[in-house]
Amino acid sequence: MAALGMPFFRTALIACFLLAGIHAYLGFHVVRRGVIFVDLALAQMAALGVAVSVVLGHHDNNLLTYALALGMTFVGAASFAWLRSQERRHVPLEAFIGIVFATAQAAVFLVLEKSPAGPEHLKETLVGALFTIDPRHVVKTAVLYAVIGLAHWLLRRPFFEITTDAEAARGRGRRLFWWDFLFYAIFGFVVTSSVQIAGVLLVFGLLVIPAVAGLMASSRTGVALAVGWTFAFVGCVAGLVGSVRWDLPAAPSVLVALSTLLVVMGGVLPFVKRWGRRDSALLKDATARSSRG
């Protein structure tokens, strides 16, 4: 593949794989919890923090920019954890998440309106900078994601209990507010870093689309995660290659590739499952005949 000879392509591919690996996993939790747009809302909150940094003239200060973006995601994390704990039966949590996203998006427009470089920064918050990302930033992100992955591994039992059946987890003594806040706060670290690399749109796509693909393939957690990761990696390669081949923006190309693959999978999967059921029936029939013989 000629594109692999380009240093910027290799860096973008590694960054995309990092994002795909952690977001496909987090997406499983998000989709199963039914809070599909939580990533989009938190990503937009992070983008608002970046916009504030731009207006204050500190965009070149990476540490301050990251702190502002992370602080905004923590506000969102606390809000979502509190709203879920209130059990607002007549108003689903997804409605509040949508309100947070829309308000944060509007605030970004308002904050950047008076900035001379506002349109450029606004575009960056949406589509990121995959092909211009500094390799050192990718290394730092990889270390952060490794730490977050370890935290999720250590806390996998309560997280999966709440994802699978929140009320049963509450009955076993789990304090949902604090576990939800911890989940969304850790999520905030991921989103804050991801938005700076890939933008709001691709971060949302990598969270939801691979998870949906995995759950379409199987309801078993292990199989769904394996399918989701494979799906995300293939989508990253296809999108980035297409971006280089036709000189298109990287993040939107990957997002469109993921969506296209999902459509193809949706068309092919029923036939695969039908063949699988037929083969299983034939095997059972052959086993029954063999036992009778």
Which one is predicted more confidently, 213 or 195?
Answer: 213
Cβ neighbours of residue 47 under 8 Å, at least 6 residues apart?
Answer: 69, 104, 108, 125, 195, 200
Average pLDDT over residues 4-15: 87
Query: Rounded distance, CA 220 to CA 242, Å?
Result: 32
Going by pLDDT thresholds of 50, 70 and 90, the confidence category of residue 231 is very high
Classify residue 46 as exposed, middle or buried by CB count within 10 Å of its CB (0-12, 13-18, 19+).
buried
pLDDT digits (tens, 9 = 90+) for 197-227: 888 889 889 989 999 999 988 888 889 999 9
Classify residue 172 as exposed, middle or buried by CB count within 10 Å of its CB (0-12, 13-18, 19+).
exposed
pLDDT digits (tens, 9 = 90+) for 108-150: 888 887 777 667 767 777 788 888 889 998 999 999 999 999 9
Domain 2-292 has CATH 1.10.3470.10: yes
Model pTM above 0.85 = no
DSSP string, the chain: -GGGGSHHHHHHHHHHHHHHHHHHHHHHHHHHHT-TTHHHHHHHHHHHHHHHHHHTT-TT-HHHHHHHHHHHHHHHHHHHHHHHHTT-TTS-HHHHHHHHHHHHHHHHHHHHTT-TTHHHHHHHHHH--GGG--HHHHHHHHHHHHHHHHHHHHTHHHHHHHHH-HHHHHHTT--HHHHHHHHHHHHHHHHHHHHHHHHHHHHHHHHHHHHHHHHHH-SSHHHHHHHHHHHHHHHHHHHHHHHHHHT--HHHHHHHHHHHHHHHHHHHHHHHHHHHHHHHHHHHHHHHHHHH-
pLDDT digits (tens, 9 = 90+) for 161-181: 888 887 788 888 888 888 888
Q: Where are the domains of the chain?
A: 2-292
Lowest mean pLDDT among 49-53, 243-247, 275-279: 275-279
Residue 36's pLDDT is 75
pLDDT digits (tens, 9 = 90+) for 44-101: 888 888 888 888 877 667 788 888 888 888 888 888 777 766 655 566 777 778 888 8
Distance of CA 49 to the CA centre of its chain: 19
Which one is predicted more confidently, 47 or 234?
Answer: 234
